Chain A
Amino acid sequence: MAKEKASRTQKTTMFDIVNYIVFVVIALIVLIPIWKVLVDSLNQVGVYQFRIYPRNFTLDGYKTIIETSKLYTPFLVSVVSTVLGTLLGLTLATLGGYVLNQTEMPGRNAMAFFLLFTMIFSGGMIPEYLVMKQLGFINHWYILVFKHGINVYNLVLMKNFFEGVPSSLFEAAKIDGCSPMGIFFKIVLPLSKAALASIGLMFAVTVWNDYSTVQIYITDTKQVNFQYKLKTMIMDGDTPTTSYNVSQTTLYNAGIVAAILPFMILYPFLQKYFVKGVNIGAVKE
């Protein structure tokens, strides 16, 4: 797509210049608060005010996270639950989205209603807690996987993407004797890489950023995830409890950066699938 686009308009116009300037300004605005976190995470001393650069540079905050098992264990819990949760979530969202796209299927509307209803109505925290308890999910990190395993919002988005796959392809495949599963794996999935990448990312981030599930369902400190650990560090109330080798401020700011880092690394790899997503359009009638 890059090449195609480049060939579309070669010369840099006024439009491009303005566009670049505007985006640089936006990027700066976005970065200012993040810069504060980054500087504080590298600062030996706790500074409340805004500083452009650290007063006393240190990497101790990050070192503490890597070296303290009470901090890296939650990080590993986060990584594992995010990977599994994303896989489960994507599987169910693609299956559901694909099936909902079968407009001629008897009962399709009922199924759609069955799903959409859950977006609006819920039993509330306590009934959910009791059900999770019955299922034996309390106090285990894998509740994060199951809690996010089905997401109707993402399922509907997935269905919307599938709509973009030209139905002529399905017809052709059906005539070739492909089963629904076959069509799904051989035609739909390969054509939906952009959707899989973006919705997968949405799943991953939801699981990764989730601390409230942990707060409600997990009391065993060995099972908590990183965002929860981070939150307890930040919200640390009136009790002078845990102290680490570095200033609290340094440590939790390092934690905030650490929580962003995996996705900063991951995103560029996913981006190329957004580009490949053009395939859907390429065969569109």
Chain B
Amino acid sequence: MRKKVQYTSTGEVVRKKPLSKRIWNHRGYYLMFLPVFLFVLIMYYWPMLGIRFAFFTYKPVGPKTFVGLKHFQSMFIDPLKAPAFWQAFKNTLELSIIKLLITTFASVIVSVFLNEMKNLFAKKTLQTIIYLPHFMSWTVVASIFTLILSKSETGMVNGLLVQWGIIEQSEKIFFLADKGWWRPIYYMVNIWKETGWGTIIFLATLSGINPELYEAADIDGASRLQKIGYVTMPALANTIITVLILNLAKVMNLFESVFVMYNIAVYDVSDVISTYIYRQTFNTFTPDYGFSTAVGLFKSLVGCVLVLVCNYLSKKTRGRGIV
């Protein structure tokens, strides 16, 4: 709708053909889209009919009954549940978005500097090393970091801090139980685990940059850092924005990484919606699937708003959205 006039690659204005003609011309493409269409329809849209359960009581046993907005009421208004829910909502947004921004930032930086590495063997080896953590499940990662960061005698970090005289034996920091430390630690572990993996998409983009651009910059006498700033980064911009916006849709789903790292001492700063819901249903052996569907719907709506806003901003600043 936005673009009224279409151009060919050579810049001539295309005269709009009648719709039927255009559809006919694209028949090959529709055919190619068909398998995708069917797959998405069956695997995604069919289950979506279940969204109606958000307005039902739906337990493994007992009848399904329509309850209207009851689930939303207990989420948003119930005096006992609502404060924890909104706290979890706020934590989800903060943890998730900051995590997304800093891991993406770290991935970009690492990719850019890895790209500058001239020794191909060193480059490949380093690349292989830094993506390894991605293959370790969160359970494993959490158990290792809990060990390293422990306040007990087995905690390596505290041990080193004492040994180097930075803190006294009696001042050992309980990293994972300290409300001030938990979030920085959480971000660091995420950086550790996901940065390397995140570079894959950026490195693939970087390999697509025309070398002539660098040569031209060389002729202009640009320094290495200048070349990064004027050639590399602009080339990455599109990918960065796409990755960021696409990941915004998943922002509300934050669960496992928090679940394995949080504990009762830091609920205030760490509890997210999914962990909150997990605890809500864990104690009931006949969980109400209607309630979890309602929460899921709420999460989707928030994700939807986030994506639309960012897509709008992307259109405003770059002249195009993600698709």
Chain A residues close to B by CB (< 8 Å)? 1-2, 4-6, 8-9, 12-13, 15-16, 19-20, 22-23, 26-27, 29-34, 36-37, 48-50, 91-92, 95-96, 98-100, 102-107, 109, 111-112, 114-116, 118-128, 130-131, 135, 146-147, 149-150, 152-153, 155-157, 159-161, 164, 166-168, 171, 179-181, 184, 194-195, 197-198, 201-202, 205, 208-209, 211, 227, 230-231, 234-235, 256, 259-260, 263-264, 267-268, 271, 274-278, 280-282, 284
Contact = CB atoms under 8 A, between A and B. Distances in A.
A135 B42 contact: yes
B156 A112 contact: no
Contacts of A50: 147-148, 154, 156
Contacts of A8: 211, 214-215, 218
Interface residues of B, number: 97
Contact of A271 (B22, B127, B211): B127
Nearest to A123: B47
27 contacts: A9-B224, A12-B118, A29-B192, A30-B129, A30-B196, A33-B133, A33-B144, A37-B136, A99-B30, A100-B323, A107-B23, A118-B40, A118-B44, A124-B50, A124-B51, A124-B292, A124-B293, A152-B40, A157-B242, A157-B243, A160-B242, A161-B204, A180-B32, A198-B200, A201-B200, A202-B201, A264-B132
A167 B323 contact: no
Contacts of A130: 47, 50
Interface stretch (B108-116, B163-171, B179-187): B108-116
A48 B147 contact: yes
By secondary structure, the A interface counts as: helix
A205 B135 contact: yes
A29 to B, nearest CB: 7
Interface of B: 1, 6, 8-9, 14, 19, 22-23, 26, 28-30, 32-33, 35-37, 39-40, 42-51, 53, 58, 110, 113-114, 116-118, 120, 122, 124, 126-137, 139-141, 143-145, 147-148, 154, 156, 192, 196-197, 200-201, 203-204, 207-211, 214-215, 218, 224-225, 238-239, 242-243, 246, 249-250, 289, 292-293, 296-297, 300, 303-304, 307, 322-323
B113 A147 contact: no
B49 A234 contact: no
Given A33-B148, A99-B33, A124-B292, A264 B208 contact: no
A205 B193 CA distance: 14
B50 A126 contact: yes
Contact of B239 (A115, A160, A202, A235): A160
Given A9-B118, A211-B137, A36 B144 contact: yes
B137 A149 contact: no
Contacts of A202: 200-201
A146 B39 CA distance: 9
A274 B207 contact: yes
Given A50-B147, A159-B323, A5 B292 contact: no
Contacts of B22: 104-106
A121 B211 contact: no
Contacts of A256: 136-137, 140
Given A122-B296, A127-B49, A211-B137, A277 B207 contact: yes
A121 B54 CA distance: 13
A100 to B, nearest CB: 6
Contacts of B37: 111, 114
A156 B135 contact: no
A13 B156 CA distance: 36
Contact of B207 (A1, A152, A179): A1
Nearest to B217: A8
A36 B144 CA distance: 8
A260 B33 contact: no
B9 A167 contact: yes
Contacts of A33: 133, 136, 141, 144-145, 148, 192
A131 B47 contact: yes
Contacts of B29: 98-99, 102, 105, 180
Interface residues of chain B: helix, strand, loop or mixed (majority):
helix
A31 to B, nearest CB: 6
A257 to B, nearest CB: 10
A275 B147 CA distance: 39
A266 B224 CA distance: 32
Given A260-B132, A278-B207, A271 B124 contact: yes
B34 to A, nearest CB: 9
A8 B36 CA distance: 43
A282 B211 CA distance: 8
A118 B238 CA distance: 22
A23 to B, nearest CB: 5
Contacts of A99: 29-30, 32-33, 36
Given A1-B207, A227-B137, A126 B32 contact: no
Contacts of B211: 1, 4-5, 8, 278, 281-282
Contacts of B143: 234
A271 B300 CA distance: 36
Contacts of A123: 44, 46-51, 293
